[in-house]
Structure 1
């Protein structure tokens, strides 16, 4: 396993009539857990939904950690009256819903319902190899999670199903692109990995035995798009080279490709730059966030986080580089880029 993949695996393990969204102060960010199951197979998920509320008083602590700053929200508070847009968020390799909780919480405060499933087989809480092998189901996880929310009495009457977006970090970026219609191409991908076998994405696919059994090829290469999704936002994605070039050229929705200007984990030429170049020019916006690293799309580290990781998981401290004031500033910038895109694509209504 190469150094980049080793660091990626370790760090991940640590790891709305139409009520218009108002000012951030109008809503208190609330959070609740959910469970969902596939109707036709043994694949169960759990995750979190962040949503706008009018809760008062102190927030509840969701996570305390020696490495990561505390995350809090109004646990199980009643949802605010109204109909709200939805953003589905997909975590990265061996990640979980806490990785982008900072983003989900900010969106909820702006009047957005955010659905975050933990993907079976590729989450911190479930690394079952058979689930990991079925990589094609990651995009379907988002659809199943949305289906569940649309029948959940806590949220069903508050979701606007015509205003749905999806955002994903790292492997989550791969996931949202598949949900937009990008299709895996076994032969194309194998040819690329034959030339660069130590490339991080090639090692991950090989480790999980994705496509190793020809019996999986039809499912792996199938269309996993969800027509309810109107725009996607891959954030420093991994896995761009898995996709058939023609399927990327056929994407018919706006895509905001957010890269990492610091390029500390993934090769931008292989990933975000290559993805942006393959998408329809009139539908893609590619922004390489200046001085942002791969892990700036994750949470804020504690003051001691870097030292804790350097001592207990040497090499993994990369997740906490520039992870205090600098990362908070990056979060502000990334959030505004995402909000601008959601407004421009009318996921968040204008005016």
Structure 2
């Protein structure tokens, strides 16, 4: 039966790739309120930044001088565009999870459009291992329409077509994030002119979340940097020590311009890379997002992060029954439905969830990310009401008057239509 279904799917896909739009800007009719695009038409540009003299983790050996290299990071930058810009465009040559298949995506951003007047807070998006700068393009576009400059990175050694030693990601991820914030802050062009990096937010998925926790001050545990473990987790010559709690490098890494962090399925606590002592170093407001059956970063471990980041106000949004792909990845491109010879499986499963509709999860993330960033980067106090929620959405009572206004006994989640918050829970803790 499975072979029959696979063959049927392949037959259909043979006729669809040239027609597939692979839209990243989908909005379901039941999307929560703040998921809707904002008032800005948006542009997008591809830039490359080079960090000279970065330690070469991949080619470092147990002895001798650690080699260095110029680390080039390609980014996609979304931004509010000038009035009169015609919306819409494509992203071509986007690699799928197999690292060989290239597809086109369709969205709202106009390639190389002139920027709008004014200045806008900065948001950095950081993908997982592996990933690429387009994996969360749905969120990048959405936030840009609401008045943000959004930069999304291709992290070297960590992309679909450039996977290398995992130790490189362990060392370099928070360094990349810090470097990109500084690069955008000092960008000397018309995009730099509209970027307010003094108000910066970081959104990281999986290993991007790992990096964001470190970049925010939650350094690595002593076990992480002293363990006698498989080589996959131990870079040579103590190169990981710079990310450890108490190190001078970590102290210098933490950036006061970063005002908020969203960590989606963050990796690391499941392998004791963080512990209660190290996580209490994070003092940035934190929104955690996770699937309740995440078996990659481990949901119980993500809950530990929620409990142990005691020095900051933090929140945890949970998708009941979702796995590691909760909320972050864009909808699976049509071409990903076919079996990949390179992988031996269909890349579809890298993007999708077995229980939740991806567009639905994307819309929920867009809603909460908007409220969170508006609160902390724009000082929009009214958005805090979107976090004043009953913990289990299914316990909420929908009670509206004839004018559609909530009655005193209404406890349903703000911004969600009746019955549309099912399967979600939301928890809060305040700094101790």
Structure 2 unaligned residues grouped into runs of 5+: 1-35, 55-68, 97-102, 383-432
Q: Pick from 304, 310, 314: which aligns with 1:274?
A: 304
CA distance in 1, matches of 2:93, 2:238: 43
Answer yes or no: is the 8 Å Cα contact 1:301–1:323 preserved in 2. no
**2:266 maps to 1:237:** yes
Measured after TM superposition, the shift of residue 175 of structure 1 is: 0.8
Instruction: Give secondary structure in 2 for the equivalent of 1:99.
Output: coil
Provide the aligned C-alpha RMSD in A: 3.1
Q: Pick from 67, 77, 85: which aligns with 2:121?
A: 85
Q: Given the superposition, is the C-alpha separation of residues 65 and 168 from structure 1 closer, same or farther in structure 2, using an over 3 Å criterion?
A: closer
- Residues 227-263 of structure 1, C-alpha deviations (whole Å, 9 max, x = no match): 2111111001111231243221132121111111342
Q: Pick from 374, 378, 389: which aligns with 1:343?
A: 374
Q: Pick from 33, 36, 42: which aligns with 2:46?
A: 33
Q: Given the superposition, is the C-alpha separation of residues 318 and 190 from structure 1 closer, same or farther in structure 2, using an over 3 Å criterion?
A: farther
Matched with 1:63 is 92
Measured after TM superposition, the shift of residue 344 of structure 1 is: 2.8
Q: Given the superposition, is the C-alpha separation of residues 317 and 231 from structure 1 closer, same or farther in structure 2, using an over 3 Å criterion?
A: same
CA distance in 2, matches of 1:348, 1:63: 36
Measured after TM superposition, the shift of residue 87 of structure 1 is: 0.7
Q: Given the superposition, is the C-alpha separation of residues 62 and 183 from structure 1 closer, same or farther in structure 2, using an over 3 Å criterion?
A: same
**2:173 maps to 1:144:** no
Q: Given the superposition, is the C-alpha separation of residues 161 and 56 from structure 1 closer, same or farther in structure 2, using an over 3 Å criterion?
A: closer
Matched with 1:51 is 79
Answer yes or no: is the 8 Å Cα contact 2:200–2:377 preserved in 1. no
**2:296 maps to 1:260:** no
Bigger mean CA offset, 118-127 vs 178-187: 118-127
Matched with 1:200 is none
CA distance in 2, matches of 1:170, 1:28: 30
Bigger mean CA offset, 330-339 vs 115-124: 115-124
Answer yes or no: is the 8 Å Cα contact 1:71–1:101 preserved in 2. no
Aligned ranges for residues 92-131 of structure 1 at < 5 Å?
92-129=128-165
CA distance in 1, matches of 2:288, 2:356: 24
- Residues 263-295 of structure 1, C-alpha deviations (whole Å, 9 max, x = no match): 25432112x112111111751111112343322
Matched with 2:234 is 211
CA distance in 1, matches of 2:167, 2:312: 34
Matched with 2:206 is 170
Structure index of larger Rg: 2
Matched with 1:330 is 361
Matched with 1:20 is none
Measured after TM superposition, the shift of residue 29 of structure 1 is: 2.2
With normalisation by structure 2, the TM-score equals 0.65
Matched with 1:14 is none
Matched with 1:225 is 254
Q: How many residues align?
A: 314
CA distance in 2, matches of 1:66, 1:81: 33
Answer yes or no: is the 8 Å Cα contact 1:292–1:330 preserved in 2. no
Which structure shows the bigger proportion of residues in helix conformation? 1
Matched with 2:322 is 292
Answer yes or no: is the 8 Å Cα contact 2:143–2:150 preserved in 1. yes
